[in-house]
Amino acid sequence: MNDEVKQGEAIQAQLAQRETDQAAAAAQATSAARGANAAKPEETAAPSGGRTQVPAHSPADGGTASHAAESAATGAANTESAVPAVPADAEENSEFAELQRAVAAGEEISKELEAPAAGQGGGGSRSIGDAVRFERGLDARDPRAGFDPDIAPPPLPDPTADTSPELAAVVPPPPPPPDNGAELGGLTPAAQGGDIAVNEANLADGSNPNPPALTQSGSFTISAPDGLGSLAIGGVEVLNASGLTGNPVSTALGNTLVVTGFDPATGTVTYEYTLLDNEGHPAGQGANDLFDSLPVTLTDSDGDTTTDTLAVRIVDDLPDAISDIDEVGTGGSTGGNVFTGADDDALDRVQSDVHGADRAGAPITGVVAGSHLDSPLTDGTGIGTVVQGVFGDLVLNADGSYVYTANGGLQSNQTDVFTYTVIDADGDTDTATLTIEIRGEAPPPPPPPPPPPPTIQVGKPGDTGIPNITVPEGTDAEFGVSITRAAAGSTVTLTLADGTAVNADYNEARFEYSTDGGTNWTAVSGPIAVAAGDSTLLVRTDTVADGVDKPTRPSP
């Protein structure tokens, strides 16, 4: 029986030691989980005397041990024993689990335990029944007896687990907004005609002056979804985020462009271009175009840039030679200027040529006899020298002045034709003719018609015809004589109609006349001198008896 008691005590001691070890391991795990940095592992002191008290099962656990087993402490007496660390060896844990299983199954566990170092105890008077009394048997033994059932020990740490502090989650930055870039629209390349056109002919010295037409307007569009930075034309900033700058643009050809408006809703930019002077177009190519090209640069708020070109078409002005007609008589000469239209004879039809905007100092470059409008003369042929025509000779100078001398003895209605060419400063030409019409020998003018003969009207002043004159007897008979268109030195002779009177009681020999209206009278003694042209005489004679003096029509 003593051996059985010792064996039971040894089992109890080992179970108690394992429970102590488990408790220490649980405490150590809890301390580690709470982040406590213990300087040394927890220690559990045994009761004085080196004895470890093993609590018995409570009735609630299924039974109560009536005898407390004692075992010798592993350390020195009356000293604290260090609690062993949690077994790292999985084999020890499995061994303990095997003992628990055996106890629960009611198996004999003594053979599972290591033999005491001192061997089995000797026999005694006490039996195992006196030492230990189990009410429900070893299968009711609960290693957790004496512990608070509401406190669950933390799980043992996983040696493979990562116990480093958890790092805060890294939140990636939001993606950057999309870069939309900048765009220009509505600009037409020069190869397709350009954006707007101006014409040199509308300049003040052009062939068709029209100052308002020298300024033309146009538009294009811009797009900057990321925000407008700036818009530059010809290197000059004309628009930015604050609005129009008002800066004028001077172009490479010396003209002016001004941005007049911007619509943020549609992105439309409007502008005006003004032609200030003629331009140097390609030489000798006739009507051609020259482009004033202005670079356009759009930059948005984040630095994206796009470029294009605003092309202005400048139309060349050309000279316009207008054919002229002059007249001259046979053997005579005439002159004028085919370019300015000046003429010696106002009746001639010499018109001024149109030089155009590209003026040249010496516009006439050649002249030949005949009509050759399809062959411009640009080498100076005939300029300043005598050019012999069909009916006379022409001298035409580079400034357009000319003199034509006709041959003598020509018939009328003859014409002499000459062809000349004008040129402008950039080599454009035009050709016209100078036609001389010949007037032949003029016949003498017809003699003027003879003037009508002078007339003499006899009667009272103001009367017409030759009326009878009735006067009282013994008074003077007075009548008027009107002379019309009398030649210088003309005279008037008065003669009475002899025998026509009723009674011959008049004085045939006594007549008087007056040239001053009757103030002064002169006796008629022969022909009366009258003034040239128109004049009036008063004539009187006395009477001595009844009758009528009736003079015949006087003759001058």
Over the chain (556 residues), the average pLDDT of each successive run of 10 is: 56 69 69 51 42 42 39 39 47 65 68 56 48 49 61 75 77 84 95 95 90 97 95 97 96 97 97 93 75 97 95 91 87 87 60 67 84 83 93 93 90 89 85 87 72 60 50 66 77 60 44 81 80 79 55 47
Q: What is the pLDDT of residue 345?
A: 59
Single residue among 383, 415, 439 that ends a domain in this structure: 439
Q: What is the pLDDT of residue 309?
A: 97
Please indicate, yes or no, whether residues 420 and 480 belong to a single structural domain of this protein.
Answer: no
Q: Residue 153 falls within a domain, yes or no?
A: no
Q: What is the pLDDT of residue 550?
A: 47
CATH number at residue 371: 2.60.40
Q: What is the pLDDT of residue 499?
A: 37
Angle at alpha carbon of residue 40, lines to 37 and 44, rounded to 5°:
120
Q: What is the pLDDT of residue 156?
A: 78
Please indicate, yes or no, whether residues 465 and 498 belong to a single structural domain of this protein.
Answer: yes
CB 409 within 8 A of CB 398: no
Q: What is the pLDDT of residue 149?
A: 65
Q: Residue 161 falls within a domain, yes or no?
A: no
Residue of 556, 552, 512 lying closest to 535 (CA atoms):
556
Please indicate, yes or no, whether residues 513 and 435 belong to a single structural domain of this protein.
Answer: no
Helix count and strand count (H, E) for the chain: 3, 26
Q: Residue 514 falls within a domain, yes or no?
A: yes
Phi-psi region of 351 (alpha: psi -120 to 50; beta: other; left: phi over 0): beta
Please indicate, yes or no, whether residues 418 and 346 belong to a single structural domain of this protein.
Answer: yes
Q: What is the pLDDT of residue 86?
A: 47
Q: What is the pLDDT of residue 505?
A: 43
Q: Domain range spanning residue 192?
A: 183-315
Single residue among 140, 173, 196 that ends a domain in this structure: 140
Q: What is the pLDDT of residue 290?
A: 92
Please indicate, yes or no, whether residues 271 and 347 belong to a single structural domain of this protein.
Answer: no
Q: Residue 163 falls within a domain, yes or no?
A: no
Please indicate, yes or no, whether residues 403 and 349 belong to a single structural domain of this protein.
Answer: yes
Spell out the residues 6+ positions from residue 320 whose beta carbon is closer than 8 angstroms to its own: 207, 353, 354, 356, 430
- Report the chain's terminal Cα–Cα distance, integer Å: 220
Q: Residue 154 falls within a domain, yes or no?
A: no
Single residue among 315, 346, 375 that ends a domain in this structure: 315
Please indicate, yes or no, whether residues 290 and 223 belong to a single structural domain of this protein.
Answer: yes
Spell out the residues 6+ positions from residue 420 whose beta carbon is closer than 8 angstroms to its own: 321, 338, 364, 366, 367, 377, 396, 431, 432, 433, 434
Q: Residue 415 falls within a domain, yes or no?
A: yes
Q: Residue 341 falls within a domain, yes or no?
A: yes
Our count of domains for the chain comes to 4
CB 293 within 8 A of CB 307: no
Please indicate, yes or no, whether residues 285 and 341 belong to a single structural domain of this protein.
Answer: no
Please indicate, yes or no, whether residues 130 and 205 belong to a single structural domain of this protein.
Answer: no
Please indicate, yes or no, whether residues 114 and 21 belong to a single structural domain of this protein.
Answer: yes
Q: What is the pLDDT of residue 147?
A: 58
Please indicate, yes or no, whether residues 131 and 252 belong to a single structural domain of this protein.
Answer: no
Torsion angle in degrees (nearest 10) through CA of 179, 185, 188, 189? 0
Please indicate, yes or no, whether residues 362 and 308 belong to a single structural domain of this protein.
Answer: no
Q: Residue 245 falls within a domain, yes or no?
A: yes
